[in-house]
């Protein structure tokens, strides 16, 4: 669905949900995930429906992920760096656990 117009000059490796992923230096976390086919960043706490970037400029909070152990970071605003750990998932795991 998403593709780069130009090939990146420098690449970094980040870990997403335990898997190594290549990203272009200077990409945001959201851009790196989308470029690698990852479109579900979290689940809605009320309906558990999948969520991903909507505005891509920090207004909507649909792209929340855990970055290096810090939850609820906006993936569209954070630049990638080599060795970064990203975890996608639920914004409120307790609510989702109650539904299962």
pLDDT tens digits, residue range 19-55? 999 999 999 999 999 999 999 999 888 888 999 999 9
List the domain boundaries for the chain: 11-92
Banded model confidence at residue 6, pLDDT cuts 50, 70, 90: confident
Long-range contacts made by residues 9-16, C-beta under 8 angstroms, separation at least 24?
Answer: 12/80, 12/81, 12/82, 12/83, 12/84, 13/82, 13/83, 14/80, 14/81, 14/82, 14/83, 14/84, 14/85, 14/86, 15/83, 15/84, 15/85, 15/86, 16/86, 16/87, 16/88
- Identify the pLDDT of residue 91: 53
The pTM (predicted TM-score) of the whole model is 0.83
| CATH (one of 3.10.20.440, 3.40.50.150, 3.40.50.2300, 1.20.1250.20) for 11-92 | 3.10.20.440
For 62-99, write each residue's pLDDT tens digit.
Answer: 999 999 999 999 999 999 999 999 999 855 555 445 44
């Amino acid at each position: 669905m998403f593709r780069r117009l130009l090939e990146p000059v420098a690449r970094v490796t980040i870990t997403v949900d335990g898997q190594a992923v290549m990203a272009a230096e200077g990409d945001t976390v959201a851009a790196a995930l989308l470029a690698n086919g990852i479109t579900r960043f979290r689940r809605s706490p009320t309906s558990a429906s999948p969520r991903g970037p909507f505005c891509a400029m920090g207004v909507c909070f649909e792209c929340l992920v855990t970055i290096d152990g810090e939850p609820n970071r906006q993936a569209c605003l954070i630049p990638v760096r080599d060795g970064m750990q990203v975890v996608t998932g639920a914004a409120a795991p307790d609510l989702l656990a109650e539904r299962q």
